């Protein structure tokens, strides 16, 4: 039923080697092309020679190395927030942060298309969770109205809205300015997951707040995984000092777990330095996204479900077969065909049995600033041909 994942034999950059053949890689979220960047590799090497690999302890027990504190300060300076906190794993960032601030009896309003990390955090917090339709602001407003009018003791209860800047499950971008208007009207707090928009959206890469023109203080907590644009591992949370300090003692993924290996923290610092000096990386990425979008918009049988500026281009079947398994088989056939015939590596989004998200699955392409024009053209042509051949009976 399930296929074995493909084994890469070289770094996961825009070109990689699979089965001794060179392929164009659209499966790594390497948005700014930092994989293989000389400066990052140098800073990692010197950190490895100085500190070794692991940090051998949790943050409270001599696992806090000065690079961690420097990295937290650098991120806070870049985004313009008072403070930030580093986690050692991207996925655990959200599911450790949410139970810190929300307990039984509190109310969380969340988009129905959020990824598993957020869903797990909501479950662990034991709060009342209310879903609203994916990226639909009217549905959000109705939900907020309903909750505020039904609940008499609403002033005492902590209320949150959780959203992702760029949804991993559909590639759509959330309209942050409208969310902030609603938040101020109904007095909710906003927790925003910027894993796929940090370093991508906005003229200098500061994320969705810059893109929508919202001052960063209006968002109460921003979390992000560093395994996307920054090409390292781990995650961070940033916001007001009160929010961050509280997590240092009550967030289970921070207190009970070993800290991030120091070389990954120094890679993050170098990545942010390079990004600040070269803002043309972001404009190159935007051009690449636009080219890919126009190239893929007229494939028969597949439609693009993501917003035009999102770095994840999400292709869905125009007409579904009716069962998730059959959809998955068709999409995987298309991806296989593209790999075998034209050496273009794309992936189908996969869901765990624990995932509650019901949005349709599709093919995901992660665009990178390091992709050349020929790579993008090759991908468009290849997917057109593959879709024609595989979906010929289906349309």
Among residue numbers 190 through 229, which ones bind other proteins (CB under 8 A)? 225, 227-228
Name the minimum Å distance from CB 296 to other proteins.
19
3-class SS of residue 261: coil
Nearer Cβ to other proteins (48/137): 48
- Hey, is 114 helix, strand or coil? coil
**Sole window of 4-12, 140-148, 287-295, 376-384 interacting with other proteins (rule: CB under 8 A):** 4-12
Distances (CA, A) of 82 to 201, 224, 239, 244, 383: 21, 16, 6, 9, 45
Minimum CB distance to other proteins smaller for 54 or for 80: 54
How many other CB atoms sit within 10 Å of the CB of residue 240?
A: 13
Q: For residue 303, how many other CB atoms are within 10 A of its CB?
A: 16
Window of 65-73, 210-218, 315-323, 370-378 that interacts with other proteins by CB under 8 A: 65-73
Residues 6+ apart with CB under 8 A from 265: 47, 65, 67, 68, 70, 71, 86, 232, 234
Order of strands across the sheet with 128-132? Answer: 83-87, 235-239, 221-225, 189-193, 159-164, 107-111, 128-132
Please identify, using beta-carbon distances, which residue of 135 and 259 lies nearer to other proteins.
259
Is residue 24 involved in binding other proteins (CB under 8 A)? Answer: no
Residue positions counted in the chain: 395
Comparing CB distances to other proteins, the nearer of 141 and 257 is 257
Instruction: Find the binder of other proteins among 20, 104, 354, 393 (CB under 8 A).
Output: 354
Q: How far is the CB of 28 from other proteins (least distance, A)?
A: 4
The minimum distance between CB 294 and other proteins, in angstroms, equals 25
- Our CB check for other proteins shows the closer of 50 and 146 to be 50
Per CB under 8 A, which of residues 28..57 are in contact with other proteins? 28-30, 35-36, 40-41, 44-45, 48-57
Identify the three-state secondary structure at position 143. helix
| Residue among 14, 15, 24, 63 that touches other proteins (CB under 8 A) | 63
Q: Is 189 in the site for other proteins (CB under 8 A)?
A: yes
Applying the rule CB under 8 A, the residues between 231 and 250 that interact with other proteins are 231-233, 242-243, 246, 248-249
Is 387 one of the binding residues for other proteins (CB under 8 A)? no
Q: Print the binding letters for residues 161-180 with other proteins: x by CB under 8 A, - otherwise.
A: -------x------------
Nearest approach, Cβ of residue 233 and other proteins (Å): 5
In the bound complex, what is the minimum distance in angstroms from residue 219's beta carbon to other proteins? 14
- Residue 17, beta-bridge partner list: 22
72: number of Cβ within 10 Å = 21
Stretch that binds other proteins, among 197-205, 207-215, 230-238, 322-330 (CB under 8 A): 230-238
Region at 56 (left for phi over 0; alpha for psi -120 to 50; beta for the rest): left
Confirm or reject binding of residue 7 to other proteins (CB under 8 A). yes
Q: Which of residues 116-155 bind other proteins (CB under 8 A)?
A: 116-117, 120, 123-124, 155
Site for other proteins in 252-311 (CB under 8 A): 252-253, 256-258, 260-261, 263-264, 267
CA angle 14, 360, 117 (to 5 degrees): 70
Site for other proteins in 79-108 (CB under 8 A): 88-92, 101
The 363-366 sheet, strands edge to edge: 302-304, 312-317, 363-366, 347-348
Count of other CB atoms within 10 angstroms of residue 6: 14
Q: What is the DSSP string of 181-233?
A: HHHHHHT-EEEEE-TTTTTTSSTTS--HHHHHT--GGGSSEEEEETTSTT-SS
- Could you say which of 65, 108, 330, 380 contacts other proteins (CB under 8 A)? 65
Total number of residues binding other proteins (CB under 8 A)?
Answer: 92
């Amino acid at each position: 039923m399930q296929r074995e994942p493909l084994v890469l034999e070289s770094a996961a950059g825009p070109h990689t080697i699979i089965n001794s053949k060179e392929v164009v890689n659209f499966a790594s979220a390497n948005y700014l092309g930092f994989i293989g960047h000389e400066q990052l590799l140098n800073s990692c090497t010197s950190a490895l020679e100085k500190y070794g690999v692991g940090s051998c302890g949790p943050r409270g027990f001599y696992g806090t190395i000065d690079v961690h504190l420097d990295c937290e300060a650098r991120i806070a300076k870049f985004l313009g927030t008072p403070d930030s906190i580093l986690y050692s794993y991207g996925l655990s960032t959200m599911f450790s942060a949410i139970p810190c601030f929300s307990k039984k009896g509190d109310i969380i309003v969340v988009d129905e298309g959020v990824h598993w990390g957020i869903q797990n955090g909501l479950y662990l917090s034991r709060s009342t969770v209310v879903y609203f339709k994916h990226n639909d602001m009217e549905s959000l407003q109705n939900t907020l109205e309903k909750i505020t009018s039904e609940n008499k003791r609403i002033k005492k209860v902590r209320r949150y809205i959780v959203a992702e800047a760029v949804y991993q499950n559909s590639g759509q971008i959330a309209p942050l300015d409208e969310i902030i208007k609603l938040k101020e009207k109904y007095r909710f707090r906003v927790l925003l997951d910027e894993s796929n928009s940090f370093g991508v959206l906005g003229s200098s890469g500061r994320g969705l707040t810059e893109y929508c023109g919202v001052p960063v203080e209006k968002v109460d907590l921003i979390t992000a995984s560093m395994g996307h644009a920054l090409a390292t591992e781990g995650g961070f949370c940033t916001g007001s000092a009160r929010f961050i300090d509280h997590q240092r003692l009550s967030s289970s993924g921070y207190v009970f777990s070993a800290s991030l290996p120091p070389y990954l923290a120094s890679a993050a610092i170098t990545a942010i330095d390079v990004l600040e000096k070269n803002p043309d990386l972001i404009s190159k990425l935007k051009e690449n996204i636009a080219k890919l979008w126009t190239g893929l918009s007229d494939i028969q049988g597949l439609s693009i479900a993501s917003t035009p500026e999102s770095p994840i281009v999400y292709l869905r079947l125009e007409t579904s077969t009716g069962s998730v398994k059959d959809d998955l088989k068709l999409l995987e056939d298309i991806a296989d065909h593209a790999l075998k015939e034209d050496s273009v590596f794309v992936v189908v989004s996969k869901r765990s049995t624990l995932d509650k998200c019901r949005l349709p699955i599709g093919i995901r392409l992660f665009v990178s600033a390091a992709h050349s024009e020929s790579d993008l053209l090759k991908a468009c042509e290849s997917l057109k041909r593959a879709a024609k051949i595989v979906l010929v009976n289906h349309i």
